[in-house]
Chain A
Amino acid sequence: MYRYDEFDAQIVRERVAEFRAQVARRIDGSLTEEEFKPLRLMNGLYLQLHAYMLRVAIPYGTLSGRQMRQLAMIAERWDRGYGHFTTRQNIQFNWPVLRDVPDMLDALAEVEMHAIQTSGNCIRNTTSDPFAGAATDEIEDPRITCELIRQWSTLHPEFTFLGRKFKIAVTAASQDRAAIRVHDIGIEIVRNAAGETGYRVLVGGGQGRTPMIAKELRGFLPREDLLPYLEAALRVYNLMGRRDNKYKARIKILVHEMGIERYREMVEAEFASGDRGAAPGTEELARIAAYFAPPALTPRPVDGVHAARAAHPDFATWVDQNGHPHRQDDHLSVTVSLKPVGGAPGDATSEQMRVLAEAAERFSQDEMRVTHEQNIVLPHVAKADLFALWSLLRTQGLDAANRGLVTDIIACPGLDYCALATARSIPVAQAISTRFSDLKRQREIGPLAIKISGCINACGHHHVGHIGILGLDKAGVESYQITLGGEPANDASLGERTGPGFAYDEVPEVIETLVTTYLSLRQTGETFLQTYRRVGMPPFKEALYADAA
């Protein structure tokens, strides 16, 4: 894992001290709320429906046991004993008190964490593949590139006040698990015909009220050109992007209106103009890369796991469902689901965080990843340790064997927490999860990604859910719009609306109808998405609306 150098540490400490003084001046009345609001937002402090909310950055979702324990302590000491892991691979605390926030930030700084650039119109936390460094299908660890971008984008003077927020994702695998096609900039680490490693750069993807799939900006960019090229891409956006209407200010709108060809021409011209100041030296690249050197994994016998599987069918199911192939045969990457039946997706209590920390320390090279699907990945688990790991996780209800299934639901905080939301999300997820609680049935249904947003801003990624659910307010009543066929990966697509929305109480039955329809239509081995793509909307629409016709 990356460790702060003296510059990182100094930046974070100075920022906390600065914010402490700002909070004191707000409390003594020297600063008005109008003056204070942009300052608190630059430090990740929002004001939500019931309380302040502190959003903490988790760079590319990577955490150590020590960091997770500190998050547990912060949740317990200054919040209500839990945190919410987000689709940006971050964590949010929902109940901090203003005067405590500087102390929370100091506690984060102790473990090389902060809340800078988790809000505002700047470059946000760069996200990545949760199986980075462990997956069988990657060219290299994408977090080296993520860390390079993190350092470059932190407090970047030119890009601190962009027209809108800016999100970058990086993958190095043949299977996109970082949703790069729905990011402002998506970066894929690739090899060219000469065998050189470089970058394929996508631009103009995004969700929100105007969802778009990213377009290719450059098919192959030499490694050393990445930061100068990103600077060129952002500079053109910063100059040409709209600032008169926040709903049209994201780069996707600029690229759409200008056309990818014209945008590319401008970026290439800017890039060619010769500003190479951002390019890192080879020494710096090597320094960063050294932090992500693959851990030395001692070969371990795997015989014991077979006996444990035979003796404990629940364990065997959990391994099959939540395990992901590792580059070393005697290891697995394991997804720890934060989606127990009836639970709030992405929430973890302090006790659960401590168990996750212990699990990482004992069984996964002291490392874990927050996924954009709101789960935790332990990337390097020896198969020989799987049973001990499962037994540990079970003590805190962290053994749900539902990765990628109908109950592995992404949900934004929704109307229960969020000041922007127009409808509840979490209770809808809980009701669906309860409805489909039978694990045997979930596995019969197969891969099915349900994603729920409580407003048009789409924090719950509903546009790219196989089944997307968007909660809206219709004349004071919650109404849920259903979309089908969304997908965030290599063959990305945006979901299509089924038709008129449904009432809050109707949603679980709607999902049941969609699932039943799929099961009646599917061919052998077909997933929900594959069936939908083969048969299209009509049979699903018929099933949902026939009675209303």
Chain B
Amino acid sequence: MARRTLPVILTANDLMDGDAVWWTGAGWSRTIGLARRFESAKDAAPMLETLGQDSAAIGVYAVELDPDTDAPALRREAIRAAREPSFAYLPAAAQPQTAGRREAA
């Protein structure tokens, strides 16, 4: 059975702090909800190649989305999108703020 074509967004890690960042169409954002959606990896390929030259973002790659929820299809990317581990890794007082997520499936 042919594999279903999934929409994708483009992601990388920020040079300075290593944060996960997503391509908005105009720049990089730490908010996955602002990511520009491509209909397929093929559609995203030219931009992926262009962004690969961006020295401020490391390791650019495409992340597949669940077409029903628009959230990352893989758990790895869902955890990455949450920008912190999936468990309470710090005392509550020290938890960093996160906002504007594309919630996990």
User: Whose C-beta in chain B lies nearest to the C-beta of A97?
Assistant: B17
Number of A interface residues in the complex (CB < 8 A): 33
Q: What chain A residues lie within 8 Å of B96 (beta carbons)? A: 80
Q: Is A417 in contact with B85, judged by CB distance below 8 angstroms?
A: yes
A26 to B18, alpha carbons, bound, how many Å?
Answer: 13
Considering the chains assembled together, what is the distance between the CA atoms of A81 and B76 in angstroms?
24
A510 CB-CB contact with B under 8 Å: no
0/1 string, A127-143, CB within 8 A of B gives 1:
00000000000000000
Give the CA-CA distance A378 to B18 in the complex, in Å.
Answer: 35
The complex places the Cα of A424 from the Cα of B78 at a distance, in Å, of 12
The interface bits of chain A over 42-61 (1 if a CB of B lies within 8 angstroms of the residue's CB, else 0) are: 00000111111000000000
Asked if B15 contacts A27 (CB within 8 A), the reply is yes
With both beta carbons as reference points, the residue of chain A lying nearest to B82 in the complex is identified as A50
Neighbour of B87 across the interface among A98, A349, A416, CB < 8 A: A416
- Per-residue B-contact encoding for A71-103, CB less than 8 Å = 1, 0 else: 000000000111000000000000001110000
A51 to B84, CA, bound (A): 9
Contacts A27-B16, A33-B55, A98-B18 given: A49-B91 contact, CB under 8 Å? no
Chain B residues with a Cβ closer than 8 Å to the other chain, count: 26
A344 close to B87 (CB less than 8 A):
yes
Query: Given A415-B75, A424-B86, A47–B17 Cβ distance below 8 Å?
Result: no
Taking a contact as CB atoms under 8 Å apart, the answer to whether B86 and A81 are in contact is no
Asked if B65 lies at the interface with its beta carbon under 8 angstroms from chain A, I say no
Q: Does A447 contact B (CB under 8 A)?
A: no
The complex places the Cα of A460 from the Cα of B84 at a distance, in Å, of 21
Please tell me if the beta carbons of A49 and B80 are within 8 angstroms of each other in the complex. Answer: yes
Q: Does B90 contact A (CB under 8 A)?
A: yes
B79/A416 in contact, CB under 8 A: yes
Are the CB atoms of A81 and B87 closer together than 8 Å?
A: no
- Choice from A26, A47, A477 contacting B59 with Cβ under 8 Å: A47
Q: What chain A residues lie within 8 Å of B94 (beta carbons)?
A: 80-81
| Complex partner residue of B15 from A98, A424, A478, CB under 8 angstroms | A98
For the complex, is A70 an interface residue (Cβ under 8 Å from B)? no
Identify which of residues 59-94 in chain B touch chain A, using a CB-to-CB cut-off of 8 Å: 59, 73-76, 79-80, 83-87, 89-91, 94
Is A50 a contact partner of B90 (Cβ separation < 8 A)?
no
Chain B residues near A416 (CB-CB < 8 A): 79, 85-87, 89
Q: Is the CB of A415 within 8 A of B76?
A: yes
Q: What residues of A have a CB within 8 angstroms of the CB of B13 in the complex?
A: 47, 51
CB contact between B86 and one of A48, A82, A99, A427 (< 8 Å): that residue: A427
If the complex has contacts A33-B55, A476-B74, A478-B75, are A47 and B18 also in contact, measured as CB distance less than 8 A?
yes
Flag if B90 contacts A430 (CB, 8 Å): no
User: What's the least CB distance linking B91 to chain A, in Å?
Assistant: 7
Task: List residues of chain B with CB within 8 A of the CB of A32.
Answer: 55
Instruction: Kindly state whether residue A144 has any CB partner on chain B within 8 Å.
Output: no
Contact residue among A50, A99, A427 (Cβ-Cβ distance under 8 Å from B80): A50
Instruction: Tell me, yes or no, whether B58 is within 8 Å of chain A by CB.
Output: yes
A421 vs B80: C-alpha distance in the bound complex, in angstroms? 12
Cβ-neighbour of A33 out of B19, B58, B83, B89 (below 8 A) = B58
B51 within 8 Å of A (CB atoms): no
How many whole Å from B40's CB to the nearest CB in chain A? Answer: 18
For the complex formed, measure the closest distance between the CB of A64 and the CB atoms of chain B, giving whole angstroms.
26
Which chain A positions have C-beta within 8 A of B87?
344, 416, 426-427, 430
Closest B residue to A28 by CB, please name it: B55
A47 to B18, CA, bound (A): 7
A29 within 8 A of B: yes
Taken together as a complex, chains A and B put the C-alpha atoms of A430 and B83 apart, in Å, by: 20
Residues of B within 8 A of A478 (CB): 75
On chain B, the residues within 8 Å of A430 by CB distance are: 87
B91 and chain A: residue at smallest CB distance? A349
Cα distance, A454 to B87, chains bound together (Å):
15
The closest CB in chain A to the CB of B95 belongs to: A80
Instruction: Give every chain A residue within 8 A of B91 (Cβ-Cβ).
Output: 349
Shortest 9 CB-CB contacts between residues of A and residues of B? A416-B85, A51-B18, A52-B18, A97-B17, A427-B87, A33-B58, A49-B80, A81-B94, A98-B16
28 contacts between A and B (CB under 8 A): A26-B15, A29-B55, A32-B55, A33-B15, A47-B18, A47-B58, A47-B59, A48-B18, A49-B79, A50-B20, A50-B80, A51-B13, A51-B19, A52-B17, A97-B17, A97-B18, A98-B17, A99-B16, A344-B87, A344-B89, A347-B89, A415-B75, A416-B87, A416-B89, A421-B76, A424-B79, A426-B85, A478-B75
Apart from A81-B94, A347-B89: 14 A-B pairs, beta carbons within 8 A: A32-B55, A33-B58, A47-B13, A47-B59, A50-B85, A82-B90, A98-B17, A415-B79, A424-B75, A424-B79, A426-B87, A427-B87, A473-B74, A473-B76
Q: Which residues of chain A have a CB within 8 Å of any CB of chain B? A: 26-27, 29, 32-33, 47-52, 80-82, 97-99, 344, 347, 349, 415-417, 421-422, 424, 426-427, 430, 473, 476-478
